[in-house]
Amino acid sequence: MKDLGLTYPYKKLDPIFYNDEVTIPLKNPKLLSKNQQLINEIGLELNDDELTLLLNGKLEIKDFTPYAGAYSGHQFGYFTPNLGDGRALNFGSINGIHLQTKGLGVTKYSRYADGRAVLRSSIREYLLSEAMNGLGIPTTRALALIGSDTTVYRDKTEKCAVVMRTSPSWIRFGSFEFARIQHNVELSKQLADFVIEESFPDLKKLSNKYEELFFRVVDKTITLMALWQSVGFMHGVMNSDNMNIAGLTIDYGPFAFMEEFQKDYVCNHSDKEGRYAFSNQPFIARWNLLVLAESFKKFANHELLENYANKFIPRFKDQYFAIMGKKLGFNSVQSDDRELILEMFDILEICKIDYTVFFYYLSCENYDGIILMSENSEMIKMWLDKYQKRLEFETVLKSDRLFKMKKTNPKYVLKNYILQDVIADIENGNTELLNDILAIAQDPYSEYPKYEKYALPTPKNLAGFICSCSS
Ligand code: AMP
Ligand code: MG
């Protein structure tokens, strides 16, 4: 029997918020990858066999009582009352970090689904959470990944896997929607107090703590959106149940990183109306915050909350343009900067230029490389001229500017075609690429000569790989 020192702070809430569950292990589990960096951070002392057993729900652990959380949510704009952890199991917490598996079988909240996660989507979540963390973007993380011989049917028969994810908070905007529909304001307040304790303890003593809590969620969400947009990350399913109260990226599904820049790109095959298009993400975040404000209505001043949420877009723009200025190497702010940046987006789109590679090449002063990528060299040359003239206003040493730009503009982002290569390799029984890509994800600003090809524009025949929600 292992003593991991697990605690269950969430279970202090009313039992309406969760259900105790049992694990339903996979057949022939095999450890595919472990995230030693995170294992060390958490201080988990397990050998590989024990880690495999842990992820498969078969490690004998002292005081182990896994549970699934209840939540509701607006999915593609429509309210769904009965969501919840349909395939996630909360294993308990170690020093404020909550461990959760995804794919260990059905729970009270599975509805008609099987409680499993397929290998390809588990690989995607495992790598992407580390990639976002490596980019300095708030996110849940991933501790390890096991594959198995258990199969489920999606569009075809597929192998199941389990990823263990970790987070300082698993509370979703939808958790408050769930509390609201219980028609007992004490339950909503209980949840709000829990979130304050867990994520914003400095608010505890304030007389207007619930309003302040909401303001903090808005602030965190604005920052998250500015960061997503700056790296060209598209979540794909920004339903309110996939929005984290502590401002973390959660629930990696059909996400994508921008390849050739297209401001209205839609990465989710099921999103026929483009609700979650790249350019729409900040607006959807604000929409979700307004939904959250509705759930706070009975115990906080709704007008104050709405007014605060309605300042989202101008405040988002300030943060976003500040980050974009840094990506371009601007230390100062000039009056025409926003115009230059907006013009850049139009030109990137018309010239079909790879977003990440563009900024990386700017950081290397590889202007010829940018022109070569462009489908309209005159246009991009014109913009590059303006950009270079703008740089003349900068007083910092060029070498310092380029050094800083290289720390802001990653050489690598995990585009879908790279993840497809990893998935193919794992399906063929090789784990080397998975673990190499994990290392790149964790430090995407460094050089990896063996993987130079992944720092180039996406090959045309592999670009635009689109996932659906089925996973
Ligand atoms: P998602 O689109 O992944 O955010 O999932 C939406 C809801 O469906 C959540 O409540 C999930 O827990 C649930 N869900 C998704 N896939 C499954 C599955 N295979 N088994 C059980 N529940 C699932
Ligand atoms: Mg979800």
Q: What are the distances in angstroms from CA 286 to CA 176, 217, 427?
A: 16, 11, 40
Angle between helices 281-296 and 302-309 (to 10 degrees): 170
Centre a 10 Å sphere on the Cβ of residue 306 and count the other Cβ atoms it contains: 15
Ligand 1 atom 18: the closest Cα is on which residue?
A: 115
Contact 35, 437 (CB under 8 A): no
State the Cα–Cα distance between residues 90 and 92, nearest whole angstrom: 6
Q: What are the distances in angstroms from CA 461 to CA 170, 370, 417, 458, 464?
A: 38, 20, 10, 8, 9
Chain-centroid distance, C-alpha 400: 31
Look at the chain and count its residues: 471
Write down the pLDDT at residue 328. 98
Write down the pLDDT at residue 212. 98
Where would I find the H helices in 152-296?
173-180, 185-199, 209-231, 281-296
Inform me whether the pLDDT recorded for 468 exceeds 70.
Answer: no
251 CA → ligand 2 middle, Å: 5
Give tens-digit pLDDT for 425-434: 999 999 999 9
- Decide whether any atom of ligand 1 lies within 6 Å of the 83 Cβ: yes
Write down the pLDDT at residue 466. 87
- With bands split at pLDDT 50, 70 and 90, how would you rate the model's confidence at 467? confident
Q: What pTM did the predictor assign? A: 0.97
State the Cα–Cα distance between residues 160 and 88, nearest whole angstrom: 14
Across the chain, mean pLDDT equals 97
Q: Which two tokens stand for residue 51?
A: 């880690």
User: Is 85 a residue of the active site?
Assistant: no
**E strand or H helix at 150, and its extent?**
strand 141-153
Mean pLDDT of 283-297: 98
Mean pLDDT of 166-188: 98
Compute φ and ψ for 79, nearest 5 degrees: -75, 130
Give tens-digit pLDDT for 76-95: 999 999 999 999 999 999 99
State the Cα–Cα distance between residues 388 and 31, nearest whole angstrom: 50
Q: Which of 87, 108, 114, 154 to mutate to test the pocket of ligand 1 (most atoms within 8 A of CB)?
A: 87
Give tens-digit pLDDT for 393-446: 999 999 999 999 999 999 999 999 999 999 999 999 999 999 999 999 999 999
State the Cα–Cα distance between residues 114 and 189, nearest whole angstrom: 33
- Decide whether any atom of ligand 1 lies within 6 Å of the 103 Cβ: no
- Ligand in closest contact with the CA of 86: 1
Q: Which two tokens stand for residue 166?
A: 């970790």
Mean pLDDT of 366-381: 97
State the Cα–Cα distance between residues 305 and 214, nearest whole angstrom: 7
- Decide whether any atom of ligand 1 lies within 6 Å of the 19 Cβ: no
What residues does the ion ligand 2 have nearby, CB within 5 Å?
Answer: 242, 251
Contact 99, 166 (CB under 8 A): yes
The residues near 157 (Cβ < 8 Å, ≥ 6 apart) are 151
Give tens-digit pLDDT for 37-76: 999 999 999 999 999 999 999 999 999 999 999 999 999 9
| Helices and strands, number each (H, E), in the chain | 16, 12
Closest by CA position to 170, among listed 188, 189, 194, 187: 194
Q: Which two tokens stand for residue 80?
A: 């769904």
Ligand 1 atom 14: the closest Cα is on which residue?
A: 86
114 CA → ligand 1 middle, Å: 9
- Decide whether any atom of ligand 1 lies within 6 Å of the 470 Cβ: no
Contact 134, 407 (CB under 8 A): no
- Decide whether any atom of ligand 1 lies within 6 Å of the 237 Cβ: yes
Centre a 10 Å sphere on the Cβ of residue 461 and count the other Cβ atoms it contains: 7
Percentage of the chain lying above the pLDDT 90 cut: 98
State the Cα–Cα distance between residues 180 and 293, nearest whole angstrom: 11
Ligand 1 atom 13: the closest Cα is on which residue?
A: 86
State the Cα–Cα distance between residues 149 and 162, nearest whole angstrom: 12
Write down the pLDDT at residue 469. 59
Contact 121, 130 (CB under 8 A): no
- Decide whether any atom of ligand 1 lies within 6 Å of the 158 Cβ: no
Contact 29, 55 (CB under 8 A): yes
Of 49, 155, 193, 241, the catalytic one is 241
Task: Please write down the long-range contacts of 408-411, taking CB distance under 8 Å and 24 or more positions apart.
Answer: 408/323, 408/326, 408/327, 408/359, 408/363, 409/327, 409/356, 409/359, 409/360, 409/362, 409/363, 410/134, 410/135, 410/231, 410/356, 410/360, 410/444, 410/445, 411/360, 411/444, 411/445, 411/446, 411/447, 411/455
